């Protein structure tokens, strides 16, 4: 099962309790709250798609109800690990619940409002529940899915503190060609809506994957 990160993370959590004014001063580049709230999510944008991909990969590798941990590096640094459970049996409709752990994860450089580089590293922590991706799979293998992705992530770098995702996800499934019923999310059909809330404000998420 996924192991939660320990050690130096505790030092960061104590620092994150510093009032917002101090945090804003540490952002660098005069980043506004509105822009920073958006970028706090944008650093996780690819991670949402990656979590879906790893969850489907875990479904395909599942034995009984257990989904073995699936991992993949971020585009820039760190690792994502996804693991959990799915309904056992041969039904075409299943519920899959996985946790998502990040360790020094980044998909690359963003931009602040002045066009300067903005770099954020994300992680999950043992002092909080891991974020959960909860999906209902319908009409497997060529059906649909819907569900939620909720939970806290932590940032360090040019933005700092907690960012909490509350997302609703829906899309289509497709069978992997040449497989024996393995599935994946069908590109271009996935809609993600919800909020990403941090010390910088709340950003309304609405994306297509």
Q: What is the pLDDT of residues 64-104, one digit of tens each?
A: 899 999 999 999 999 999 999 999 878 899 999 999 999 99
The CA-CA-CA angle for residues 203, 207, 208, to 5°, reads 175
What phi, psi does 126 have (nearest 5°)?
Answer: -70, -15
Every domain of the chain and the residues it spans: 9-208
The residues facing 105 across adjacent strands are: 122
Q: Quick one: pLDDT at residue 85?
A: 96
Total-model pTM: 0.84
Quote the tokens at residue 111. 């931009």
Q: Quick one: pLDDT at residue 32?
A: 53
| CA-to-CA dists, residue 174 to 105, 150, 181, angstroms | 28, 24, 9
Taking all residues of the chain, what is their mean pLDDT, rounded to a whole number? 87
pLDDT tens by residue, 12-54: 333 333 333 334 434 444 445 899 999 999 999 999 999 999 9
Q: Give the other-Cβ count within 10 Å of 20's Cβ.
A: 11
Q: Quick one: pLDDT at residue 134?
A: 98
CB contact set of 65 (below 8 Å; sequence gap of 6+)? 85, 86, 87, 88
pLDDT tens by residue, 141-182: 999 999 999 999 999 999 999 999 999 999 999 999 999 889
Q: Quick one: pLDDT at residue 88?
A: 80
Q: Quick one: pLDDT at residue 90?
A: 80
Tokens 């130096």 belong to 8
Closest CA to 99 of 123, 60, 132: 132
Q: Quick one: pLDDT at residue 133?
A: 98
């Amino acid at each position: 099962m996924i192991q939660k990160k320990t050690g130096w993370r505790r030092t960061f959590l104590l620092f994150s309790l510093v009032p917002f004014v101090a945090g804003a001063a540490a952002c660098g580049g005069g980043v506004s709250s509105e822009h920073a709230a958006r970028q706090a999510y944008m650093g996780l944008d690819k991670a949402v798609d990656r979590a879906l991909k790893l969850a489907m990969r875990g479904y395909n590798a599942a034995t009984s109800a257990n989904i073995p941990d699936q991992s993949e590096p971020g585009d820039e640094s760190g690792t994502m690990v996804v693991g959990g459970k799915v309904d056992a049996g041969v039904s075409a409709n299943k519920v899959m619940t996985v946790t998502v752990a990040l360790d020094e994860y980044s998909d690359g450089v963003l931009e602040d409002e002045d066009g300067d580089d903005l770099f954020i590293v994300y992680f999950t922590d043992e002092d909080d529940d891991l974020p959960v991706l909860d999906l209902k799979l319908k009409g497997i293998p060529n059906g649909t899915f819907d569900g939620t992705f909720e939970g806290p992530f932590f940032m360090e770098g040019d933005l700092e503190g907690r960012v909490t995702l509350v997302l609703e996800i829906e899309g289509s499934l497709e069978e992997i060609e040449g497989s024996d019923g393995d599935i994946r999310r069908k590109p271009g059909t996935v809609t993600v809506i919800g909020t990403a809330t941090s010390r910088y404000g709340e950003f309304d998420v609405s994306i297509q994957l």
